[in-house]
Amino acid sequence: NAGVTQTPKFQVLKTGQSMTLQCAQDMNHNSMYWYRQDPGMGLRLIYYSASEGTTDKGEVPNGYNVSRLNKREFSLRLESAAPSQTSVYFCASRDRLYSGANVLTFGAGSRLTVL
Amino acid sequence: SQQGEEDPQALSIQEGENATMNCSYKTSINNLQWYRQNSGRGLVHLILIRSNEREKHSGRLRVTLDTSKKSSSLLITASRAADTASYFCATEGGSEKLVFGKGTKLTVNP
């Protein structure tokens, strides 16, 4: 199984450009998440989707939009990139190990640099 | 704001020694999880402990949870160079969201 696949792995943008990070999972998980990781900040939740057709804001949603295209795919869009969005982005999906528990499976990450 | 705070921020030990990392959190939780991240990679789930549990073991990992102190610890026994990684605690409080701390960077020297 591929698990959670993110594309692209690396991207350099200029300020004001737009781009979409793609994420797909093949584990039939219901919930999907986008986190960003910055040095010294740990992981911060941007958006999540509890099920197909629903999305909710996390801790740092400003400057981002998401689309839950179907059960497998959850994309993150930067409409007008800013240097503050330089980060490593992780997509994750949820495996229900125990009733009511969230155990996340992560992708390998997408490193984005905004100049 | 982030829920969990790991301590120490960085830890350097020799192979064979035990490594202990701590996590403190602020609000009530349903469960607490530990993840590992190797350099340049995604996070990998290690172990989950529920709020009504006090201790769990998985191989060389031992996790404790003290809900009265809102704290957890992760013990890695007989560490190996391959254990070099960053370790994160994450808390789940009943919503769909899992909130991560800033992590402990562990270096195990051969």
Res. A69 pLDDT band, cuts 50 70 90: confident
Asked if residue A67 has pLDDT above 50, the reply is yes
Asked if residue B97 has pLDDT above 90, the reply is no
β-strands B104-109, B10-14: how paired? parallel
What does the pLDDT look like over A34-55, one tens digit per residue? 999 998 778 999 999 988 889 9
Residue B17 belongs to what H/E stretch?
none
CB A61 within 8 A of CB A49: no
A42: its two tokens: 């740990």
Which residues of chain A have a CB within 8 Å of the CB of B100?
Answer: 35, 42-44
What CA–CA distance (Å, rounded) separates A3 from A91? 11
Chain B interface, best mutation among A30, A43, A57, A88, by max B CB count within 10 A: A43
CB A57 within 8 A of CB A67: no
List phi, psi (to 5°) of B81: -60, -35
What string of DSSP letters covers A19-69? EEEEEEE-S--S-EEEEEEETTTEEEEEEEESSTT--EE-S--TT-EEEE-
Cβ of B44 under 8 Å from any chain A Cβ?
yes
- CA A64 → CA A24, B85, B104, distances in Å? 18, 30, 28
CB B85 within 8 A of CB B37: yes
User: In Å, how far is B28's CA from the nearest CA of chain A?
Assistant: 14
What CA–CA distance (Å, rounded) separates B92 from A100? 9
Taking the alpha carbons at both ends of chain B, their separation in whole angstroms is: 37
Asked if residue A100 has pLDDT above 80, the reply is no
Q: Which of residues 60-89 of A touch B (CB under 8 A)?
A: none
What does the pLDDT look like over B19-71, one tens digit per residue? 999 999 998 898 899 999 999 899 999 999 999 999 999 999 999 999 999 99
What CA–CA distance (Å, rounded) separates A67 from A51? 11
What does the pLDDT look like over B63-96, one tens digit per residue? 999 999 999 999 999 999 999 999 999 998 767 7
pLDDT mean across residues, chain A: 92
What does the pLDDT look like over A9-33, one tens digit per residue? 999 999 999 999 999 999 888 899 9
Q: What is the pLDDT of residue B46?
A: 96
CB A2 within 8 A of CB A17: no
Cβ of A39 under 8 Å from any chain B Cβ?
no
Taking phi over 0 as left and psi of -120 to 50 as alpha, with beta for the rest, A100 belongs to left
What CA–CA distance (Å, rounded) separates B52 from A32? 27
